[in-house]
Amino acid sequence: MKSSNIGGQAVMEGIMMRHKDEYAIAVRKPDQEIEVKVEPYKSVIPWKGASKIPLLRGVFSFVDSLVVGMKCLMYSASFIEDEEESGKEVKELSPEEQAKKDKKDEKEYNLLMGFTVVISVALSVGLFILLPYLIASLLKLVGVKETGVTVVEAFIRIAIFLAYMYLISKMKDIQRVFMYHGAEHKCINCIEHGMELNVENVMKSSRLHKRCGTSFLFIVMIVSIIFFLGFFAIVPVHTMWLKVLIRLLLMPLIAGVSFEFIRLAGNSDNKVVCTLSKPGMALQKLSTNEPTPDMVEVAIAAVEAVFDWKAYLIENFPEYKGTEDK
């Protein structure tokens, strides 16, 4: 199977789909119309060569996905805000006042987005990296050695991650987002399995995909366990603050290795790779729900705005080309 290289993200009442240098956000508006916005994809890292360097590209891709994802979430949320404010009286502004307001709004938007990304990263590191270590470190009080602490830390980290995924999957608003997440996966699976992109074919496709961000996060958990156990087995460190610092410094490398595996998995049908991908895909049963046909329509609109799926099918599935020629 050749990867379509389409990546996406569910947003509020919609989906973002990215392919190469463009991404599209399709949102189902309160009036039930589908709004599609296409934007050029610009990395926050100005050096283009970074996307070609193994390991390093994973770190930059993770940062980019956070920034673009947050921007798309804010855009989709704006439709809900517009509906809430539609009944309010709006004061007419002069062109100069409107320009000044737009500039101020843009500055506030950029500050808010930057602050949100930083807080999100800090909370993630604190919850999934530092907290498990601090809890496991309490075992030293009863004489447990460093290796034992690191093993227990690994189990605590996985337990916190699974509990987090389970709890948010039970939130009503998040459940709708996860339905759109399922629609995103179904669209990509539909194309990558050689089927024409329509609602019927998408609905019968799988909602689980090897290149999902949920699988990436799970792989990060597993790779971090391997790295932490290996490093502290080779290099004895006795100071707590230094152990914490080393864990933080290893995170970019861990993210890079995890990205390379997900990238390999998305382009491979190797049995070993598929087997290693199964735990992450199983976890997607928490982060994806079966979508409704109208959600699939939104996903298809997002895909078609940035990706020529017919050309992909013709290139990779000769049988589809045959049906096109008839």
Q: Which two tokens stand for residue 42?
A: 């610009």
Q: What is the value of pTM for the model shown? A: 0.84
* Cα four-point dihedral sign 99, 101, 106, 111: positive
Q: Count how many residues are written for the chain.
A: 326
Task: State the helix-helix crossing angle for 293-306 and 172-192, rounded to 10 degrees.
Answer: 50
Let me know: does 60 contact 50? Beta carbons within 8 Å: yes
Q: For residues 1 and 169, what is the distance between their CA atoms, to the nearest angstrom?
A: 31
Please state whether beta strands 14-19 and 34-40 pair in parallel, antiparallel, or not at all (unpaired): unpaired
Residue 55 near residue 257 (C-beta atoms within 8 A): yes
pLDDT per residue of the chain (326 residues) written in tens, 0 to 9: 567 889 889 999 999 999 988 999 999 998 899 999 999 988 777 676 766 788 788 888 888 888 888 888 888 888 876 555 555 554 566 667 666 666 666 676 667 666 777 787 788 888 888 899 899 999 988 888 888 888 899 899 999 989 998 998 888 888 999 999 999 999 999 999 999 999 999 999 999 998 898 899 899 989 988 998 888 888 888 888 898 899 889 988 999 999 999 988 888 888 888 898 999 999 999 999 999 999 999 999 999 999 999 999 999 888 776 454 44
Look at residue 25 and give its three-state secondary structure. Answer: strand
Contact call for residues 129 and 247 (beta carbons, < 8 A): yes
